[in-house]
Structure 1
């Protein structure tokens, strides 16, 4: 979700926090330090800063897996999007569900 001119709000699902939201500042700039790492369906190692806001701030991102085969077929992308939508609707609270996280990975 776009936020401001260069920022983006990301909805994340983590093994320890469950569903949460974080802001990536400057991610939409041409010379962003995040590059193309903050894309849908990527498995990432993120460093998050928890300030006073309900949104955490992403301070660094490292790709664990980009799932390149997922992008080969439209049906694969559609299935991944549907799975993420289902998790978003079923697990709206920030409670961790390690089993659900394992299924998504």
Structure 2
């Protein structure tokens, strides 16, 4: 396709966020398998009788048709339909909070106009499972975070000490620049042997989240690791921590 040429394309996407552009239009940020992160103008979507009303809500998995032009940063949405609205996530405060972290992670690690099929597939699988999840949501959040970090090339080292490569025995720790460390190496945070075993168990199940418990500390560890690795604050983490404080209070 030549520079400046407009081409009509069809794909699927997850809606990561949306902002109002005018009284009738919104700009939505999507993650797609073939073009990575992409911004689209949805003209007239805020009109009461718009056929796309509710279609572009955050979390929705959609089928869409749009026009692509290399020289513009915001593409034009032509039509869209909901493939999965993830009602199970949207209707549960804990699920939607941890799910929001996964979407924020996608916003940070996925690049504009760069194929991201592997990451997209991992995100779809995570949202599909979270939608039906009946176990501890923090455990699922930790598992999904590991999967997405791995897909993006930011997985922490967990098999042996990330500093000296020795086996992990007593007094394990975690370094936010690399991953697990042994008792002899410097750590940003010491963790229990049980927490290390939980981390390993989550990493050893790539297809489905294992039904284990006590995931809050593990999710917190991985969220701090992601913040350090990506040099990005995550608003959803603050929301999750606030919900945790309220549940304990």
Report if TM-score (shorter chain) is over 0.5. Answer: yes
Structure 1 portions without partners, runs of 5+: none
Larger CA deviation: 16-25 vs 94-103: 94-103
After the TM superposition, list the runs of 4 or more consecutive aligned residues in structure 1 that deviate by more than 6 angstroms.
Answer: none
- Which of the numbers 111, 115, 134 marks the counterpart of 1:96? 115
Distance 2:90 2:103 in 1: 15
Instruction: Kindly indicate whether residue 68 of structure 2 is the aligned counterpart of residue 50 of structure 1.
Output: yes
Which structure would you say has the larger Rg?
A: 2
Q: Is the 8 A contact 2:21 2:27 kept in 1?
A: yes
- Which of the numbers 50, 58, 62 marks the counterpart of 2:81? 62
> Secondary structure, in 3 states, of the residue corresponding to 2:122?
helix
Residue equivalent to 1:85: 104
Q: Is the 8 A contact 2:37 2:110 kept in 1?
A: yes
Instruction: Kindly indicate whether residue 73 of structure 2 is the aligned counterpart of residue 73 of structure 1.
Output: no
Distance 1:64 1:33 in 2: 15
Residue 76 of structure 1 and its aligned partner are, at CA, apart by 0.7
Residue 53 of structure 1 and its aligned partner are, at CA, apart by 3.1
Name whichever structure is richer in helix by fraction: 2
Residue 29 of structure 1 and its aligned partner are, at CA, apart by 1.1
Structure 2 portions without partners, runs of 5+: 1-18, 125-249
TM, length-normalised to structure 2: 0.40
Distance 1:18 1:26 in 2: 25
Count of residue pairs the alignment pairs up: 105
Residue equivalent to 2:41: 23
Residue equivalent to 1:39: 57
TM, length-normalised to structure 1: 0.91
Q: CA RMSD in A?
A: 1.3
Name whichever structure is richer in strand by fraction: 1
Distance 1:58 1:93, change over 3 A: closer
Residue 36 of structure 1 and its aligned partner are, at CA, apart by 1.3
Deviations along 1:14-72, one digit per CA (max 9) or x if unpaired, are 01100010010011111112121111111100001124532111111111111111122
Residue 6 of structure 1 and its aligned partner are, at CA, apart by 0.9
Q: Is the 8 A contact 2:24 2:43 kept in 1?
A: yes
> Secondary structure, in 3 states, of the residue corresponding to 1:50?
strand
> Secondary structure, in 3 states, of the residue corresponding to 1:6?
coil
